[in-house]
Amino acid sequence: GENVEQHPSTLSVQEGDSAVIKCTYSDSASNYFPWYKQELGKGPQLIIDIRSNVGEKKDQRIAVTLNKTAKHFSLHITETQPEDSAVYFCAASSSYNTDKLIFGTGTRLQVFP
């Protein structure tokens, strides 16, 4: 079945710097890759997603890139702010059930003012 690896597990950046989180997946048939942000005490919030027919997608300070050949995708946050501090999870859809998401292990991002 699908397996998703996520790195790094923790990431500390200075406010205004960029942050990059990377995920790799095992199933070449996966076609949907969302990113979630989870703040302390809250449920995961969908922040951006990408499908396998697109190589990059941007939404203001957030972007996601997908390399289908290498089977990896990345989240890029530019001009980080303290409110970006949270745990970020990547996920990939299961090829045999596209409604099922397999989650990465999470990255704790800390943005220091």
Partner 1 sequence: SAVISQKPSRDICQRGTSLTIQCQVDSQVTMMFWYRQQPGQSLTLIATANQGSEATYESGFVIDKFPISRPNLTFSTLTVSNMSPEDSSIYLCSVEDTLAGEQYFGPGTRLTVT
CB of 77 to partner 1, least distance (A): 20
Residue closer to partner 1 by CB (options 17, 58) is: 58
CB of 17 to partner 1, least distance (A): 25
Residue closer to partner 1 by CB (options 10, 18) is: 10
Residue closer to partner 1 by CB (options 51, 58) is: 51
The residues of the shown chain that bind partner 1, judged by CB under 8 A, are 32, 34, 36, 42-46, 49, 89, 98-101, 103-106
Q: CA-CA distance, 98 to 31, in Å (whole number)?
A: 8
CB of 39 to partner 1, least distance (A): 11
- Coil vs helix vs strand at 98: coil
**Whole-number Cα distances in Å, 67 to 11, 23, 52, 80, 86:** 22, 10, 9, 24, 25
CB of 89 to partner 1, least distance (A): 6
8 A C-beta contact, residue 52 and residue 32: yes
- The first and second tokens of residue 47, run together, are 């922040």
Residue closer to partner 1 by CB (options 43, 113) is: 43
Strands 107-112 and 10-14: parallel
